[in-house]
C-alpha cells in the first residue's frame, strides 16, 4: 500500500520545507534510474528510488523560478507530471512555483450554500479582450451588479498553444500560462471572494489531451482495459492505479487548499471507468471531507453526468459517491425542444412541453422509461434528492459550441423567447447556470477552437469537424478550429451591453435574479413544494412553487399565438414580472378576458402572493 495522501500539503512534484529545502517526488515505476535536470545547463542530481515506484530528492539547489525536467534511464526526458508551471508550453520544461506563499486576504470568506449559487460559466480566453484572469477580474463589479454569486471557469490545466476550450489539458496541476498562471488564478479567486462571488473550476479527470501527453512514458496512468471517446481510459482500477488515484486526489485537494477554489465541476464523469470496491469519486469526497474538517472551509464537488444515476449524488452513508450536485442536460433538452428547436440527434427523445413539466418535477426526464434514442430503458428516480442537487441551464459551452456554427440561443429564437428561456431556468427549483454573454443576448458565436502545434493532429481535428457536420454542408463549411479568426469570432463583444435591446435584456436578467433571491418560495429546495401542469395543445405551462406563507406562480406561453390561461381569483395575486411589458421590449400586456389571463405569444407572467 502506497503512503496515504497528505491533506495539508502536496506530496508529489516540487514542494518546499520551512527551511527552504526543495522536496521532489516523482512516480516512475518502470524506471531503473531517475535524475533531475536543473536549469538551462541541465545540471544533474540523482533521485533515490523508494517503494512502489516513487523517486525522491531533497535539495537546496532548486529554487523558485528554476526550470527543471527529469531524465529516465539516461534517455527519456520528461517534464514533471505534477508541474505547477509550464512557461514554454506542454513540450517545454517545468518551472518551480511555491504556490503556498500567496498573500490571501479572504480569511472571512464563507462559501454560500449551493442553493444560493447562481452560476456564470466563463471561458477565460474569450470572456475579455485580453483573454486572461485579469480580464475576468476587471468584470467582477459587472457580475456582482447582475447578481451572480458564483463564476464557473472552464478548464485551465495547461493545454497546447494559447487557444483551446481547455479539455485538451495535459498538465492537471499547471495553470495555463497564457491566462496568467497560478498567481493570476489565485489573485482572481481572492478578488472574487472580496466581491462576494464563489469560484467553481472545471476539471477533467476522464482523459488527457492528444498533444503533450507524456504520461505513458512515465508510468501506468492509462489502461487499455477500457476505452473512452478520447482513447485509453485513465487507470483508476488496473495495475499501478494506487498512485494514479492519489495523483488525482492530490489535484482536487490542491485546488481547494492552495487556490481557495470553492467547488469543482468534474467533466463527463460517466467516462471514468472504475470498478474498484471504492469508486474514485467516493474516495475524493472522503478526502475533501477531511480537508474541510482541518480548514473549516466548505467545498463542493459537482459532476457532469450523462447516466441519470443517483449513485453519484447519493450521500456516503447511503453507499453513494457523495457528489454534492450534478449538471442535468435533460432539462436543457426538453426546454430547447419546447421552444421549437429541431428534434435531431439526442433531442429526438424529448417530447417538448410534457417532458419539460416532468423535468421540473423529477429533474431526470428519463427515470426508468424506455429511450428510443438509446434503444433501452434508462435512468432511475430522483426521489429524496433536494433540488439543489441539480444544476440547470438554457445554454452552456457544450450546447452552443458543439453546433457547427456555434450559434448562441440569441441567434436561434426571438427576443421574446429569450426572456422565456431565462425565466424557465432562473425560476426553476434547481440551481441555475448562465453562459457568459447570455444575460445581454450576445450574438457572437462560441465556436470550437484549438491551437495545436502538430500538423497531423491539426489535420485530424479539421477533418473530424468536417465529418461530424457532413450532413450540414448545405449551411456552409465548419469553421477551421485551428484558425485564429475562429477564436477571435468567439470573444464577447462588450460594447453591445450599452445598445438598447441588449441593455434591456441585461436589466431583465438582473430583475429575474433579484426576484429569485428575495422570494422564499423561489429559493426553496423542497421539491415536494411544487406543482406543474402542461397543456400540449396550447403549449402553455403552469409552474406553482410555495414555501411557508409565500406562493409563486409562473404562467408560460411557448406558442406563437396569444393564449388564455385560468387564474384563481379567490385570493389576490400580485403580478411582479410580465415579460411582454413594453419596459422589457415586449409588445405590451393584454387585458384579462372572462376571468382568464391572456398571455402574449412567447411570454410569461410571474405572480406572488
Contact 462, 480 (CB under 8 A): yes
Do 557 and 447 have their domain in common? no
In CATH, what number is assigned to the domain containing residue 579?
2.60.40.1180
Q: Which of 567, 576, 600 is CA-nearest to residue 522?
A: 576
Q: How many CA atoms lie within 13 A of 403 on its CB side?
A: 19
* 509, pLDDT greater than 60: yes
Domain span at residue 42 reads 13-78
The chain-wide mean pLDDT, for the chain, equals: 96
d(CA 359, CA 540): 15
In CATH, what number is assigned to the domain containing residue 47?
2.60.40.10
Do 486 and 543 have their domain in common? no
Residue 568 lies in a domain: yes
Segment 564-591 shows an average pLDDT of: 93
Do 488 and 561 have their domain in common? no
In the annotated binding site, the residues are: 265-270, 329-333, 397-402
Residue 152 lies in a domain: yes
Do 50 and 196 have their domain in common? no
Segment 52-68 shows an average pLDDT of: 96
Residues labelled catalytic: 267, 304
Residue 36 pLDDT grade (very low, low, confident, very high; cuts 50, 70, 90): very high
Could you count the other beta carbons within 10 Å of the beta carbon of residue 99? Answer: 20
* 468, pLDDT greater than 90: no
| Res 595: pLDDT | 82
User: Exposed e or buried b for every residue in 474-504, given b needs 16+ CB within 10 A?
Assistant: eeeebbbbbbeebbebbbbeeebbeeeebeb
Segment 497-523 shows an average pLDDT of: 97
| Res 142: pLDDT | 98
Residue 472 pLDDT grade (very low, low, confident, very high; cuts 50, 70, 90): low
Model confidence pLDDT, tens digit, residues 210-269: 999 999 999 999 999 999 888 889 999 999 999 999 999 999 999 999 999 999 999 999
Residue 26 lies in a domain: yes
Q: Which of 112, 121, 113, 83 is CA-nearest to residue 99?
A: 83
- Ordered alpha helix ranges (H), 427-471: 455-468
Contact 445, 492 (CB under 8 A): no
| Res 346: pLDDT | 86
Residue 96 lies in a domain: no
Do 324 and 366 have their domain in common? yes
Contacts of 288 (CB under 8 A, 6+ apart): 252, 253, 256, 299, 301
| Res 478: pLDDT | 87
In CATH, what number is assigned to the domain containing residue 423?
3.20.20.80
Do 49 and 165 have their domain in common? no
Secondary structure letter of residue 485 according to DSSP: H
Segment 465-475 shows an average pLDDT of: 70
* 1, pLDDT greater than 80: no
How many structural domains comprise the chain? Answer: 3
d(CA 181, CA 202): 16
User: What whole-number percentage of the chain has pLDDT above 90?
Assistant: 93
Do 41 and 166 have their domain in common? no
Model confidence pLDDT, tens digit, residues 132-165: 999 999 999 999 999 999 999 999 999 999 999 9
> Of 514, 541, 566, which residue constitutes the final position of a domain?
514
d(CA 468, CA 271): 20
User: Exposed e or buried b for every residue in 441-463, given b needs 16+ CB within 10 A?
Assistant: bbebbbbbbbbbeeeebbeebbe
> Of 514, 542, 559, which residue constitutes the final position of a domain?
514
Contact 261, 199 (CB under 8 A): yes
Do 42 and 164 have their domain in common? no
Model confidence pLDDT, tens digit, residues 179-194: 999 999 999 999 999 9
Do 499 and 369 have their domain in common? yes
Segment 277-288 shows an average pLDDT of: 98
Residue 219 lies in a domain: no
| Res 416: pLDDT | 98
pTM of the full predicted structure? 0.97
Segment 333-357 shows an average pLDDT of: 94
| Res 192: pLDDT | 98
* 174, pLDDT greater than 60: yes
Do 492 and 568 have their domain in common? no
Segment 337-352 shows an average pLDDT of: 92
More confident site: 125 or 474: 125
d(CA 27, CA 55): 6
Residue 228 lies in a domain: no
Model confidence pLDDT, tens digit, residues 4-20: 899 999 999 999 998 99
- Helices (H) and strands (E) counted in the chain, each on its own, are 14, 30
Q: Which of 160, 258, 157 is CA-nearest to residue 206?
A: 157
| Res 184: pLDDT | 98
More confident site: 593 or 354: 354
Contacts of 536 (CB under 8 A, 6+ apart): 352, 353, 354
Residue 90 lies in a domain: no
In the annotated binding site for substrate, the residues are: 265-270, 329-333, 397-402
Residue 566 lies in a domain: yes
| Res 474: pLDDT | 54
Secondary structure letter of residue 90 according to DSSP: T
Do 503 and 592 have their domain in common? no
Segment 545-552 shows an average pLDDT of: 96
> Of 514, 542, 564, which residue constitutes the final position of a domain?
514
Residue 465 pLDDT grade (very low, low, confident, very high; cuts 50, 70, 90): confident
Do 28 and 146 have their domain in common? no
Amino acid at each position: 500500500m502506497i503512503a496515504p495522501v497528505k491533506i495539508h500539503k502536496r506530496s508529489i512534484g516540487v514542494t518546499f520545507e520551512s527551511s527552504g529545502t526543495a522536496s521532489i517526488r516523482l512516480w516512475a515505476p518502470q524506471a531503473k534510474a531517475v535524475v533531475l535536470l536543473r536549469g538551462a545547463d541541465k545540471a544533474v542530481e540523482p533521485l533515490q528510488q523508494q517503494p512502489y515506484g516513487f523517486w525522491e530528492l531533497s535539495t537546496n539547489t532548486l529554487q523558485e523560478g528554476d526550470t527543471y525536467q527529469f531524465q529516465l534511464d539516461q534517455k527519456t526526458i520528461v517534464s514533471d507530471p505534477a508541474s505547477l508551471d509550464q512557461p514554454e508550453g506542454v513540450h517545454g520544461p517545468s518551472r518551480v512555483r511555491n504556490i503556498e506563499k500567496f498573500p490571501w486576504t479572504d480569511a472571512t470568506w464563507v462559501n454560500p450554500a449551493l442553493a444560493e449559487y447562481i452560476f456564470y460559466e466563463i471561458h477565460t480566453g474569450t470572456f475579455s479582450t485580453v483573454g486572461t484572469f485579469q480580464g475576468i477580474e476587471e468584470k467582477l463589479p459587472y457580475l456582482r451588479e447582475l447578481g451572480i454569486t458564483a463564476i464557473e471557469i472552464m478548464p485551465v490545466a495547461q493545454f497546447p498553444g494559447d487557444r483551446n476550450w481547455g479539455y485538451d489539458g495535459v498538465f492537471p496541476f499547471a495553470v495555463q500560462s497564457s491566462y496568467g498562471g497560478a498567481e493570476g488564478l489565485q489573485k482572481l479567486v481572492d478578488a472574487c471572494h472580496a466581491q462576494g462571488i464563489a469560484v467553481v473550476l472545471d476539471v477533467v479527470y476522464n482523459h488527457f489531451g492528444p498533444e503533450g501527453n507524456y504520461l505513458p512514458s512515465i508510468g501506468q496512468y492509462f489502461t487499455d482495459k477500457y476505452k473512452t471517446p478520447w482513447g485509453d481510459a485513465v487507470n483508476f482500477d488496473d495495475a499501478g492505479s494506487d498512485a494514479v488515484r492519489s495523483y488525482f486526489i492530490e489535484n482536487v485537494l490542491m485546488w481547494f487548499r492552495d487556490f481557495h477554489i470553492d467547488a469543482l465541476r468534474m467533466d463527463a464523469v460517466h467516462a471514468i471507468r472504475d470498478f474498484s470496491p471504492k469508486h474514485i469519486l467516493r474516495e475524493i469526497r472522503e478526502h475533501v471531507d477531511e480537508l474541510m474538517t482541518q480548514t473549516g472551509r466548505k467545498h463542493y464537488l459537482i459532476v457532469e453526468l450523462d447516466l441519470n444515476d443517483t449513485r453519484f449524488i447519493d450521500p456516503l452513508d447511503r453507499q453513494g459517491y457523495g457528489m454534492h450536485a450534478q449538471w442535468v442536460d435533460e432539462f436543457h433538452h426538453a426546454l430547447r425542444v419546447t421552444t421549437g428547436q429541431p428534434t435531431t440527434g439526442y433531442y429526438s427523445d424529448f417530447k417538448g412541453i410534457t417532458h419539460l413539466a416532468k423535468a421540473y418535477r423529477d429533474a431526470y426526464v428519463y427515470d426508468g422509461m424506455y429511450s428510443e434514442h438509446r434503444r433501452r430503458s434508462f435512468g432511475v428516480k430522483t426521489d429524496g434528492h433536494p433540488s439543489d442537487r441539480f444544476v440547470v441551464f438554457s445554454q452552456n459551452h457544450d450546447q452552443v459550441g458543439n453546433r457547427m456554427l456555434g450559434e448562441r440561443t440569441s441567434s436561434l429564437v426571438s427576443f421574446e423567447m429569450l426572456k422565456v428561456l431565462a425565466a424557465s431556468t432562473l425560476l426553476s427549483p434547481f440551481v441555475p447556470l448562465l453562459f457568459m454573454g447570455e444575460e445581454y443576448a450576445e450574438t457572437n458565436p462560441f465556436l470550437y477552437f484549438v491551437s495545436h502545434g502538430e500538423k497531423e493532429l491539426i489535420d485530424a481535428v479539421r477533418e473530424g469537424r468536417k465529418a461530424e457536420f457532413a450532413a450540414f454542408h448545405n449551411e456552409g463549411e465548419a469553421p477551421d478550429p485551428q484558425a485564429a479568426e475562429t477564436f477571435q469570432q468567439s470573444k464577447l463583444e462588450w460594447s453591445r451591453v450599452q445598445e438598447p435591446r441588449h441593455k434591456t435584456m441585461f436589466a431583465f436578467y438582473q430583475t429575474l435574479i433579484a426576484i429569485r433571491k428575495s422570494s422564499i418560495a423561489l429559493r426553496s429546495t423542497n421539491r415536494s413544494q411544487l406543482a406543474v401542469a402542461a397543456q400540449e395543445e396550447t403549449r402553455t405551462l403552469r409552474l406553482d412553487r410555495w414555501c411557508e406563507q409565500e406562493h409563486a406562480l409562473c404562467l408560460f406561453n411557448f406558442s406563437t399565438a396569444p393564449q388564455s390561461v385560468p387564474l384563481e381569483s379567490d385570493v389576490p395575486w400580485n403580478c411582479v414580472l410580465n415579460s411582454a411589458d413594453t419596459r422589457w421590449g415586449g409588445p405590451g400586456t393584454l387585458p384579462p378576458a372572462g376571468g382568464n389571463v391572456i398571455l402574449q405569444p412567447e411570454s410569461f407572467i410571474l405572480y406572488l402572493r
